[in-house]
Structure 1
Amino acid sequence: MRDHDAPTDLTRRGFLGLGVGTAAAAALTACGGGKSASDAAGGAGAAKPSGTFTAKYDGPKITLSYWNGFTGGDGPFMKQMVAQFQKEHPTIAVNSNTIEWAQYYQRLPAAVTAGKGPDVGAMHLDQLATNAVRKIIVPVDDVASAIGLSEADFTPEVWQAGQFKGARYGIPLDVHSLAMYYNTDDFTKAGVTEAPTDKASFQAALDALKGKGGQDQPFWMPTRWPAHLMFLSLLWQNGGEPYATDGSRATFDSEQGVAALTWMRDMVTRGYSPSNVAIDSQYVGFKNKKLSVTWDGIWQINDLNAAKLPYALAPVPKIGETNAVWANSHNFYLTRQATQDENRLQASKVFIDWISQKSAEWAGAGMVPARKSVRESAAVKGTKQAPIAAEIAQLKFLPPVPGLGDVQSQTLEIAVANGVLGKQTPQAALKDAASKATQLMQANQKKFGA
């Protein structure tokens, strides 16, 4: 089952934080042009309080180009929101271009260079730094101020993660993380009455499921997606960090990283998981009632609802010493194309403002709205992902390091796979990968001038 983030090339999700890597993108590294949104806004003054629409458009009829990668179950929700926006704003037409995420990030640089890219778009948080340093997207500090948004409207983590080199490049729409899905029928048979919350209760649940639950292997450990996201979650839970925040080196081969990968391998050696779980197999197996519990993204909610599976969702258990789980976020961005015309810029502000305030509807796509006032509304509290929204403070994001996604797909993901498969010890797998990752990161610093 492909999720909303799923690329279609190589390791499928290996480019979740993809560096574009095309000749056009390389050319953009050194090119500039166009004003920043802050410059074009001309200084928006003090931030206005959120909760009411602050951006207005009184100009002539205009068409905005809007790019996104919502090709999965989330797509219909975004289409519906865009249609409603246009109904309420008859002078702003929105031309949506929806592309698979992998192709999206590959096509964006050349399109922007040719002046045929979007005015406004949605982009993963971990893509912002790469596209900012390539000057594909422009700062939006004054846009955020103009529509009355500040850190107080979000969590500090997701708001701060949208900054790079002292400038803001993204305005958060949502957060989406790993979660624990469990088959409620299996749990009932096994006598497990509550979702496990820590290492001891998770272990006890697996042992019970192997017996009375009727599943010989109740928790399949994947070798690839979302294995590296599970590893990052466990690393953070153990108190480690995967990378230096300045982008100079990889640190995932720490003692905390070894402990994380060792626990993942133990799921296989202790018999809870088959020895070689291919990509997507753990999710398909869970959906077909072949295993009792799995960790996957909250974007799977609608697919599981459609399958009429007896399941519930809970936060990933605290296997380490602290609560933490990998997360990402869709952020709105602007290109210089939007900032070169005052009407286009103002219409883009109105669009971002409207979608942000209507993001309770976006929760229907399985996401957690990033905006605090929306996230804490009754509409969101009644959703399947409400337990994740309630634990939003534990969500962790990768640091804003240009090219990091491409580095990670070539190193960390492979190390996790080798460790889970038993091809290398966790220590050896992580050490080799971290050494290569550091070399690539240092090369990127020279390439991007970071």
Structure 2
Amino acid sequence: MALDGCDRSSTRSGAQGNVITLSFWNGFTGGDGTYIRKLVDDFNKATPHIQVRMNAYMWIDLFQKLAGAVISGQAPDVAVMHVDDIPTNAARSLITPIDEVARALGLEASAYTSRVVWEGGVYRGKRYGIPLDMHPLGMFYNKAVLRKAGLNPDKPPRTGDEYMAVLEELKGKGIQGHWVTPFLFTGRFQFETLLWQFGGELFDPEGTRATFDSEAGVRALTWMVDLVKKGYSPANVSQDADYIALQNGRNAFNWNGIWQINGLKDVPGLEWGAAPVPRIGTQDAVWGNSHQFVLPRQHSVDPARQEAARTFIQWMSQRSLEWLKSAKIPVLKSVAESAEFKSMEAESQFARQSEYIRFPPAVAGIADAMLMVEKAVSQGVLGRASPEEALKAAAAQATQVVQHNRKKYGA
């Protein structure tokens, strides 16, 4: 949804009188679009000398449009992208280093809730992103289903043993408690979470070889496959059926993204809770991602526009509490420790995972290789190959992809 057109005749000219008009692009076309639009409106009211015109596109369209805009000299002044998209766009010179902006705003690692989110905006030793939020996987649970099965609806399981004991209890009552899907949402995210919990990694530190077919990877995918084989999950679960089943009382647990919070709030009469993903493996870990501010490359540098863009980023960052209502968790410690955020019950549960949220490696073109992870999960969950076979074949393909991308983007 394009919220406003990009009038480069005004934005390129810098100031119109005493007003600078900035162009801001993002991919917030879902429920979070309402929140970002309100924040931009509030900024425009608060800063009459700087006005922001926002365009929101589907994420996949955003990157295609950004490439064309940069090449033609029509790039937006500020944009937002996911942390795992930063390396590719930096390698393509579509965004520029933002170290000076971070220093000018006095941003330091110690102010953030997670080392990973602060370092997530760095590619090849240079900062390209300033964190806005994190949005991890977590566990939703149906309190009514647990109560009906004679279980404590206010004490969700935290360990692997506790989790399996509850699933077994539910199975005895005819309830398949955890539905496993073969899709990105949320099968792949669950696999990555479990891989890290069992001590594995997706790729080697240099991003030259896939390693998700390790013993840890096999244990992770086997755990998921066994839920189907042993009857804790139905087979061939369709996209989002696990989430819908939670709402309909057909399952008890759903590992899903924090972005589902507001949807559950709108379900009449649903008794639900949120909690961190249980520690199934040997250590705490959970999949997550982050939206970060970036500066697209311009054909010419205008100091006044740079200062205006910095003002906008700072203003938005300082008002992240309003943004968190769109179902995100804070990246700044000051916000995470505030009474206002702690009163956001479900979001606070997801935020308990902040210190051990994990991102894919900062490697250009990594999204191409991650498709192979998704393929392995699908093959395993659907029973088309054993976990070992599915992971081995996918890892070999993923290694070819990352090696090709090293040549494409430079080692």
| Category of TM-score, reference length = shorter chain | over 0.9
Corresponding position of 2:3: none
Q: 2:251 aligns with which of 291, 308, 316?
A: 291
Decide whether the 8 Å contact of 1:64 with 1:93 is kept in 2.
yes
Q: 1:160 aligns with which of 95, 98, 119?
A: 119
Q: 1:403 aligns with which of 355, 365, 369?
A: 365
Taking the aligned partners of 1:67 and 1:375, their CA distance within structure 2 comes to: 26
Corresponding position of 2:54: 96
Task: Name the % identity.
Answer: 46
Taking the aligned partners of 1:99 and 1:171, their CA distance within structure 2 comes to: 20
Corresponding position of 2:233: 273
Q: Under a length normalisation based on structure 2, what TM-score does the superposition of the two structures give? A: 0.92
Corresponding position of 2:11: none
Corresponding position of 2:163: 202
C-alpha change, 1:338 and 1:152, in structure 2 (3 Å) is farther
Q: 1:315 aligns with which of 253, 260, 276?
A: 276
For 1:230, give the aligned amino acid: Q
For 1:375, give the aligned amino acid: A
How do residues 172-211 of structure 1 correspond to structure 2 at under 5 angstroms? 172-193=131-152, 194-211=155-172
Corresponding position of 1:389: 351
Describe the superposition over 1:389-427 as per-residue Cα deviations: whole angstroms up to 9, x where unpaired: 123111111110101112211x11011100111110101
Q: 2:37 aligns with which of 79, 99, 122?
A: 79
Decide whether the 8 Å contact of 1:126 with 1:398 is kept in 2.
yes
| Residue aligned with 1:365, SS | coil
Aligned-CA RMSD value = 1.4
Describe the superposition over 1:217-262 as per-residue Cα deviations: whole angstroms up to 9, x where unpaired: 2211001121111000000000010112212110000000000000
For 1:357, give the aligned amino acid: Q
Q: CA deviation at 1:338?
A: 8.8
Q: 2:210 aligns with which of 225, 228, 250?
A: 250
Q: 1:151 aligns with which of 87, 109, 133?
A: 109
Decide whether the 8 Å contact of 1:68 with 1:123 is kept in 2.
yes
Q: CA deviation at 1:117?
A: 2.5
Taking the aligned partners of 1:389 and 1:354, their CA distance within structure 2 comes to: 23
Taking the aligned partners of 1:99 and 1:211, their CA distance within structure 2 comes to: 47
Taking the aligned partners of 2:364 and 2:70, their CA distance within structure 1 comes to: 18
Q: Under a length normalisation based on structure 1, what TM-score does the superposition of the two structures give? A: 0.85
How do residues 216-255 of structure 1 correspond to structure 2 at under 5 angstroms? 217-225=176-184, 226-255=186-215
Taking the aligned partners of 2:369 and 2:391, their CA distance within structure 1 comes to: 14
Taking the aligned partners of 1:165 and 1:186, their CA distance within structure 2 comes to: 49
Decide whether the 8 Å contact of 2:142 with 2:247 is kept in 1.
no
Which segments of 5 or more consecutive residues in structure 2 lack a partner in the other structure? 1-14
Taking the aligned partners of 1:178 and 1:100, their CA distance within structure 2 comes to: 21
Corresponding position of 1:303: 263
Q: CA deviation at 1:78?
A: 0.8
Taking the aligned partners of 1:73 and 1:388, their CA distance within structure 2 comes to: 19
Q: Does 1:259 align with 2:212?
A: no
Decide whether the 8 Å contact of 1:73 with 1:303 is kept in 2.
no
Taking the aligned partners of 1:370 and 1:129, their CA distance within structure 2 comes to: 20
Q: 1:124 aligns with which of 82, 107, 114?
A: 82
Q: 1:69 aligns with which of 7, 27, 41?
A: 27
Decide whether the 8 Å contact of 1:324 with 1:394 is kept in 2.
yes
For 2:142, give the aligned amino acid: N
| Residue aligned with 1:243, SS | coil
Decide whether the 8 Å contact of 2:171 with 2:231 is kept in 1.
no
| Residue aligned with 1:289, SS | coil
| Residue aligned with 1:175, SS | coil
For 1:207, give the aligned amino acid: E
For 1:179, give the aligned amino acid: G
Corresponding position of 1:22: none
For 1:320, give the aligned amino acid: G
Describe the superposition over 1:297-325 as per-residue Cα deviations: whole angstroms up to 9, x where unpaired: 00100011011321100000000000100
Taking the aligned partners of 2:336 and 2:311, their CA distance within structure 1 comes to: 21
Taking the aligned partners of 2:205 and 2:339, their CA distance within structure 1 comes to: 37
For 2:237, give the aligned amino acid: V
| Residue aligned with 1:294, SS | strand
Decide whether the 8 Å contact of 1:362 with 1:369 is kept in 2.
no
For 1:282, give the aligned amino acid: D
For 2:244, give the aligned amino acid: V
Decide whether the 8 Å contact of 1:66 with 1:97 is kept in 2.
yes
Q: 1:342 aligns with which of 279, 298, 303?
A: 303
| Residue aligned with 1:369, SS | coil
| Residue aligned with 1:241, SS | coil
Taking the aligned partners of 2:335 and 2:311, their CA distance within structure 1 comes to: 18
Decide whether the 8 Å contact of 2:97 with 2:126 is kept in 1.
yes
Which segments of 5 or more consecutive residues in structure 1 lack a partner in the other structure? 1-56
Taking the aligned partners of 1:389 and 1:220, their CA distance within structure 2 comes to: 24
Decide whether the 8 Å contact of 2:368 with 2:401 is kept in 1.
no
Taking the aligned partners of 1:338 and 1:449, their CA distance within structure 2 comes to: 23
Corresponding position of 1:331: 292
Taking the aligned partners of 1:346 and 1:245, their CA distance within structure 2 comes to: 36
Corresponding position of 1:34: none
